[in-house]
A and B are shown apart, each in its own frame.
Chain A
Amino acid sequence: MSVPPHRVHDQVRLPGEQLQTLIEALRLLGYRVMGPKVAEGAIVYDELTSAAELPVGWTDEQKGGSYRLVKRNDGAAFGYALGPHSWKKYLHPAVHRLWKAKREGNGFEISEETPEVPKLAFLGVRACELHAIAIQDKVLTQGVFRDPIYSSRRENVFIVAVNCSQPGGTCFCESMGTGPQATFGFDLALTEINVNGRHDFLVEAGTDRGTEMLQKIPHEGATEKEKKTVAEIAAQAAQHMGRQLNTHEIKELFYRSLEHPRWDEVAERCLNCANCTMVCPTCFCTTVEDVTDLAGTEAERWRKWDSCFTADFSYIHGGSVRASRKSRYRQWLTHKLATWIDQFGSSGCVGCGRCITWCPVAIDLTEEVLAIRQAGSTDSAALPTKEEQ
Chain B
Amino acid sequence: MAQKRKPKLAVWKFASCDGCQLSLLDCEDELLAVVGAIEIANFPEASRAVINGPYDVSLVEGSITTPHDAERIHKVRRASKFLVTIGACATAGGIQALRNFTEVQRYVPIVYASPQYIQTLNKSTPIADHVFVDFQLRGCPINKHQLVEVLSAHLNGRKPNTPTYGVCIECKRRGTVCIMAAQGAICLGPVTQAGCGAICPSFSRGCYGCFGPKETPNTDALSRWWSDHGVKDRDIMRTYRGFNAYAEAFRRESEAHEK
Contacts and interface: CB of A to CB of B under 8 A. Distances in A.
B230 interface: no
B183 A271 contact: no
A359 to B, nearest CB: 8
A189 B222 CA distance: 42
A84 B169 contact: no
Given A271-B222, A274-B168, A296 B173 contact: no
Interface in A347-387: 357-362
Contact of A278 (B161, B173, B220): B173
Contacts, number: 142
Given A271-B221, A273-B168, A294 B36 contact: yes
B49 interface: no
A294 B173 contact: no
B218 A294 contact: no
B199 interface: no
Interface in B1-33: 1-2, 30, 33
Interface residues of B, number: 50
- Of B172, B179, B189, B225, chain A has the most CB atoms within 10 Å of the CB of B172
Given A274-B168, A292-B156, A310-B169, A360 B187 contact: yes
Nearest to A63: B181
A39 B179 CA distance: 12
B182 A42 contact: yes
Interface in A83-103: 83-85, 89, 94-95, 103
Interface string B136-149: 00000000000011
B190 interface: yes
Contacts of B153: 292
Given A84-B181, A360-B180, A360-B187, 16 more contacts: A67-B181, A84-B182, A269-B224, A271-B191, A271-B218, A272-B218, A274-B165, A274-B169, A275-B190, A292-B152, A294-B38, A310-B165, A311-B215, A360-B189, A360-B222, A361-B221
Interface of A: 39-42, 44, 65-69, 83-85, 89, 94-95, 103, 268-275, 278-279, 289-297, 304-305, 307, 309-312, 325, 357-362
25 contacts: A40-B177, A41-B177, A44-B177, A68-B182, A84-B177, A89-B175, A94-B173, A269-B218, A270-B221, A271-B190, A273-B166, A273-B190, A274-B172, A275-B168, A291-B161, A294-B30, A295-B37, A296-B1, A304-B173, A310-B215, A357-B181, A358-B178, A358-B181, A361-B221, A361-B222
